Amino acid sequence: MGEEPATREPEMSDAGSDEELEIPTPMMEQGSHDGSIRKGCDPCSQTQRSKLQHRRARINQQINKEMRMRAGAENLFRATTNNKVKETVALELSFVNSNLQLLKEELEELNSNMEVYQTESEAINVPMIPLGLKETKEVDLTVPLKDYICEHYGEDSSLFEKEINEFMELRQAMRTPSRNEAGLELLVEYYNQLYYLDQRFFPTHRTLGVHFHWYDSLTGVPSCQRALAFEKGSVLFNVGALYTQMGARQDRSAAAGIDRAIDAFQRAAGAFNYLKDNFSNAPSLDMSGTSLCMLVRLMIAQVQECVFERVTLTTQDTHFTSQLQVAQEAARVSDVYSLVLQTMSQPLVKDYVPFSWASMVQVKTEHFRALSHYYAAVALCDHTQSIDEEECDEEGEKALLQLHVSNPAGPPLSQVLRDPEERRKLGEHTRKAHLRRAVIRHEEAMRVHGLCKILRKMDILQEVLSFMHKRSLDKYSEMDREDDFDETAEAPEIHSQTQQKPDIIPPNFSTVPVTDIFQRLGPLSVFCARARWGPVRVVCLQRGEGGLGLTVRGDSPVLVAGVVSGGCAEEAGLREGDYIVAVDGEDCKWAKHGEVVHNLKSCSDRGVELSVITLHTHDTLVERRSVMLSPNRDKENTWQRTMGGAKGQSSASLLNWNRKKNRGGGGFTKRLGSTFSLPFGNLRDSESMY
């Protein structure tokens, strides 16, 4: 059976503004490229995380094998008319489906193994939910890139083996990034290099025939596409996943560790949100819109949980208003986890998300709701015990009025608070009701925890839930006196409020500036996959009485802006609009204006030999430059209209990979067209005439 799936789906694609990612274009002097290959972590090192990744990779390969066997068996079942063969194939299919189910359950257990990614600190914190990285197979780009360099650029492909090997090493390293800033930089560096690879080797009218294989992060189901946008999206997904692992491993017993965790989860949310907004037609469920929406909300909930931990850590005093703020923070955490649970219950996500994830989110929803009632009860208890009429300040009264979603039945709360005896009774009844509600919620959290086999193995979570439940139960037992015959009222819900709203921090790719590995091919403004030019022509010029008879302008590469009628340049076949790529055999694609002028001036009596090309899409490039320098700066729409008009394509997307479907391609779409500022130095205003 072939590598391609039996049913072809639309390819993943991208589109959008070229200004969305402001990655600085490095100085591209010829011969200045040194490369900056970072190394991934050693895949053979026997750390707990590497063992987990090894097992994931093995299961992914087994799932891939079983799915191919199933596809072949299904094809045979549909094709055969022999009933006995059909019975045999049906039996084989039942075995294959059974094996697939067992493998997926094993992979789910690995993906739910949250303890591997947690901090090694002895502090007791509720575990966070990290995300495993997407696995990918090796891709050999050597032959396709060499063929394209020879065919499209007319260069000797053997001269670019160093660049090809460098790119391949970078891709190999990014498959095993370390769980720190260096690992993130490695992924971002590769993502940035993919821009240049896209510009150099992936034209809109054809594909290279390279297949990118990636496995679903949660199910291990393989996906294979030829669209480079699929590679970009998968790398971006791993950026977000790596941030979740870095956030989960922070020591949240100190404020500095909490702040680092908040930053990591906010950046993870930004990566997933960016992927959701800029990519479409995802071939795997982990990069579908509904799954990414769920992941964004999950990261935001974990940020909110970290904010609560920081509030409890920094609120050392037992002041009435401070305790009420802690209660409202806990209620806020419960609310956002409840929203995550609703998202996980949607039809397309419910059967995809690991059961342990949904159980953990439900446990946290109940756990933090219980904490909100507990802290409200503690605040009311301390308040009624220590307050007298002189201490009944407006701040405390205002905080109490804003504590509940709805005020208890009876006289207005503001009136009750002014009566010392009524205030005491209200405090006793209300705090008892809150403690009772806290105990019930803690018990529900422990019940849900006990239903999940994976969560039962997490000793830290069990310890936290048991401790918090015992604390609330002890407090409730102190107040549940035998001589109290008043019926305990139902505690009103706590009004959620937070001191810090989570931010979704989008990825900043400019933090890792890169140099185009294949810059020796020439400036991207001319020498790219989307440009078409004629064969290199060699023109021999002899200086006449009126000079060489041409006007040059710009640099990198230098443009022939004009040819004197009847001059020696015109007679030699030089045309206006030609680009000078070599002078006397010396490559000058990256040469500055002054360097080429100097070479032309210093030509001997025997003349000068120019190698030139004619760019067939030169007018399009000029129009593109005018768009980029437009004072309106409405790049997203104007750029797309320009490219759409130039190519006769729809203006809906600059790189609409969906069109490949009609050419036998079809795949993942990235809605971000061009992500770098291109160096259009060849269109400068400086001119020289010779």
Structure confidence at residue 11 (pLDDT): 67
C-beta atoms surrounding 175 within 10 Å: 20
Calpha distance 300→298 (Å, rounded): 5
Structure confidence at residue 37 (pLDDT): 46
Structure confidence at residue 620 (pLDDT): 44
Structure confidence at residue 83 (pLDDT): 87
Which residue type is seen at 434? H
Cα–Cα–Cα angle for 583, 589, 595, rounded to 5 degrees? 60
Cα–Cα–Cα angle for 207, 213, 218, rounded to 5 degrees? 140
Structure confidence at residue 48 (pLDDT): 52
Structure confidence at residue 334 (pLDDT): 96
Sign of torsion, CA 679 683 689 690?
positive
Structure confidence at residue 163 (pLDDT): 95
**What do you get for the CA distance between the two ends of the chain, in Å?**
64
Structure confidence at residue 443 (pLDDT): 95
How many residues comprise the chain? 690
pLDDT of 291-316, one tens digit each?
Answer: 999 999 999 999 999 999 999 988 76
Q: Which residues of 368-404 are buried (b: 16+ CB within 10 A; e: fewer)?
A: bbbbbbbbbbbbbbbbbeebeeeeeeeebeebbeebb
| Spans of the chain, pLDDT less than 70 | 1-54, 56, 108-124, 316-318, 382-429, 480-489, 604-605, 617-690
Based on the number of CB atoms within 10 Å of its own CB, is 554 exposed (0-12), middle (13-18) or buried (19 or more)? buried
Calpha distance 4→8 (Å, rounded): 8
Q: Which tokens go with 144?
A: 């396709």
Structure confidence at residue 86 (pLDDT): 86
Structure confidence at residue 497 (pLDDT): 86
* DSSP conformation class of 457: T
- Give pTM, 2 decimals: 0.76
